[in-house]
Amino acid sequence: MNVTPLENWILERTQLASKSQDALRAYQLEKIIQTLTYAKEKSRFYHERLKAVDLGAITSLKDFERIAFTTPEEIKHNSLDFVCVPSSDIKRIVTLNTSGTTGDEKRIFFTHEDLEVSIDFFQHGMNCLVDKSDTVMVLLPGPAYGSIGDLLQKALAKSGISCIVHGVLSDVEKTVQCIEENKITCIVGIPMQVLYLSRVKPDLFYSNITKVLLSTDYVPDALVEALSFKGTCKVFNHYGMTEMGYGGGVECACLDGYHLRENDLYFEIIDPISGERVQDGEYGEVVFTTLNRQAMPLIRYKTGDRARFLKKPCGCGTFLRRMEKVLGRMENSVCIQGHEIHLRALDEILLRFDSILDYTLRVEENDTLHVKLMLANKERSVALKEEMIRCIREHFTFEFTLRIETFEDDRSPKVIHSMIKRKLHDNRQGATV
């Protein structure tokens, strides 16, 4: 197995004295101190936040753990307070509305250089899966300047790899035509959308697509298994979010956890309750600090994602660490009669049924779990429902009311046309999620 191409790239960009974790941490500490100094001087938010902090006293990563976290709510409260450059230097603003509720928006700012740094990561990250013999289709927003599609296309062009920015999936027939006409071999897209495409057009999909890169949302194991179709298609996971500068880490050919963009980002896993860093191998919340960001550096930003660092070295032989595939959002769970139900557990059950194209989950009054399934056709829906109820009951040993509703796919873009992360909705009175 080849060593992840990210290794050489990180070595080049960091000029590390040796290929070791210690050398990389020393580089990151130096960058963290630069970032703290820069943000304290240039941004209103960090000027206030770090007012009482003697930055000269931070001489280790352990010292850095004393710095307060930055939360998504703080960005929502006033995004502009985070900006470190004059407005004329801002070349891209991304407005994120994770819940779909008005007023619940985060704005993330980038300079031209920030975008170039992301392109650099994409170029080397994509080398994990494609080469000049491939043609990539991006089923993500684009091609506007600074969009993820635009950045990916520019990144691939640097490696001489053809790329079509198609935009999010909204018209299956048009997408199929594009795959055939351009002889697409690799798709970059949103997990549920790529799965949808593979399930409505399996022959076309598996006779053309040999590699897939999933991004923007967490990816259940059942989805990877279904999509890989017994190894016909290699399914790579990418971890990233706009706040990271889109990219955060990507799997190597071992497909066993991400190698991270450690020259640009410093990652920690913390206990979300105590705020303390957990030991490698233990689960917690992912927190990151940007190391090279101009417009909007973020310090110890709480992602709300649950993951852990893997202790064993990767099969590819790199010295870089590995983060296990993210398990989903911390908030994506509901409590029913004292028992926790996590979106992930339901995903793993439901996605094993290959007639399911999409679904939504919500909890209603009287602790009723409502599952709404989109099926390719409703012919076998009664038997399917029975089997599904059996599987859910087998997994959750406590009592709750389960309501399963099915509807047939009408290929309506509104169902599948969404960049909003999947969510387990809690509609009960007094629910906070």
Q: Rule CB under 5 A: which residues touch Zn ion? A: 4, 252, 254, 314, 316
CA distance 196 to 187: 13
* Residue 252 or 373 with smaller CB distance to Zn ion: 252
Toward Zn ion, which CB reaches closer, 196 or 236?
A: 236
Report the distance separating Cα 70 and Cα 82, nearest Å.
Answer: 11
Q: Shortest Cβ distance from residue 253 to Zn ion (Å)?
A: 7
**Residue among 314 and 392 whose Cβ is closer to Zn ion:** 314
300 vs 321, which CB is nearer to Zn ion?
Answer: 321
Structure-derived torsion over alpha carbons of residues 185, 13, 283, 256, reported in degrees to the nearest 10: 30
21 with 11: CB under 8 angstroms? no
CB of 281 to Zn ion, least distance (A): 17
The 10 Å Cβ neighbour count of residue 190 is 25
Which residue's structure tokens are 């399911």? 356
- Closest approach, Cβ 318 to Zn ion, in A, equals 5
Residue 313 or 413: the one with the smaller Cβ distance to Zn ion is 313
One-letter-per-residue 3-state SS of 202-224: HHHHHHHCCEEEECCCCCCHHHH
Phi then psi for residue 234, to 5 deg, are -85, 125
Angle (nearest 5°) at CA 34 between 30 and 38: 170
Nearer to Zn ion, 254 or 330 (CB): 254
CB of 259 to Zn ion, least distance (A): 6
Considering the complex, what minimum distance in angstroms separates the CB of residue 310 from Zn ion?
A: 10
CA-closest candidate to residue 216, choices 141, 299, 287, 270: 141
The CB-of-8 to Zn ion minimum distance in angstroms stands at 13
Smallest gap from residue 190 Cβ to Zn ion (A): 24
**For Zn ion, the closer CB: 7 or 358:** 7
Nearest to Zn ion of 11, 254 (CB atom): 254
ω into 202 cis (within 30 of 0): no
- Alpha helices, DSSP H, located in 351-412: 381-395
253 vs 433, which CB is nearer to Zn ion?
A: 253
What percent of the chain is helix, strand and coil (3-state, nearest 5)?
35, 25, 40
CA dist list (Å): 86 to 44, 46, 72, 96, 293: 13, 16, 23, 22, 14
Q: How far is the CB of 182 from Zn ion (least distance, A)?
A: 30
In this structure, the number of other CB atoms found within 10 A of the CB of residue 152 comes to: 28
Residue 11 CB, shortest distance to Zn ion, in Å, is 15
Residue with tokens 């880490």: 249
